[in-house]
Amino acid sequence: MGAVGNPLTPMVQRNSAGSMASILSDPTPEQLVADLVLLLDLEHRGGDRYIGRRKKGGSGRVFGGQAIAQALVAARRSVPEDRFTHSLHAYFLRGGSEEEPIEFRVKRDLDGHSFSNRRVVASQQGKPILNLIASFQKSQEGPSHQYAAMPDVPQPEDLVPDAQIRRNLADRVEGPQRDLWLQPRPIDFRSVEPREWLNPKAREPVLHCWFRTVASLPDDQAVHRAVLAYATDFQLLGTSLLPHSLSFAQGEVKMASLDHAIWFHAPLRADDWLLYVTESPWSGLARGFARGQIFSRDGQLVASVAQEGMVRRSRRESGTS
């Protein structure tokens, strides 16, 4: 994903032959991850212009984490190899369509002694759908501390995968929601708290969830940080629903991300277990706010996240016309 070479390409080439076969049968974990890597491997169209591939089989709205990760990849392509992503801030402007590719244009705002800054505009059919600013830094030494402590929670091996829980509940939902629940995913999420997607009870707006890719990733930090960016858009905004006994799966609420920010604190591996701790300190005015901390299995804080999104009761739930 850097300015020289592309560590994604060898893995894409090795797995592209099997990608078509995965449409006809359940894909292997390796195929699922290869498809994710391919999704994040942008096509260079000259200068600082890139095209993001469509999600295989996609027919709805673009997942926000995909748009963020692809925009980050575009920004990273224009940065010297000795600089790593340390933060990004994104605003969602319009819903994207999975039936169209996404164009990414990068503006090189700064290449200083220690930091580089890039602006990215993601567009479809000439209209911007996302703006992203990313900052990159040379590796440097400085005062260091970690005040945040990793919560004491069950280990991922002792938890049921969320995918299995969705399969067990799939007969209770219909249409696109059921198809989405049954769709194999490249990331294995394992929630500590019971997932009450259909009949939620009001509770404290805090969640703990382990996650990792279902197969190994290339040994490159740019790849792992892009995959982490993709994964952080799962469950985060949903934490703001927990005190309100509302089910997104049952159509009781409409939600859409408005903005998303990530700070990367340390090297990480997205193919090893990471603990995602999310909380929602506030919601109101048709918006929900949530923030998250991501810990490696040994307790190191590797990233922090914040997001605000639109949260509205659906018309049938609120009784309005």
Catalytic residues: 233, 257, 307
Long-range contacts of 289-292 (CB under 8 A, 24+ apart): 289/240, 290/205, 290/236, 290/237, 290/239, 290/240, 292/232, 292/236
Residue type, 132: L
In sequence order, which residues have a C-beta less than 8 Å from that of residue 15 and are 6 or more positions away?
A: 30, 31, 34, 35, 37, 38
Structure tokens at 86: 């340390």
Which DSSP symbol is given to 155?
-
The helix/strand count (H/E) of the chain reads as 8, 12
The arrangement of strands across the sheet holding 287-296 comes to 43-44, 49-52, 102-111, 115-124, 127-138, 83-92, 253-264, 301-313, 287-296, 274-284, 206-213, 187-191
| Pairwise CA distance, residues 187 & 6, whole Å | 22
If you count them, how many residues does the chain have?
321
| Contact between residue 102 and residue 67 where contact means Cβ atoms under 8 Å apart | yes
| Pairwise CA distance, residues 46 & 55, whole Å | 22
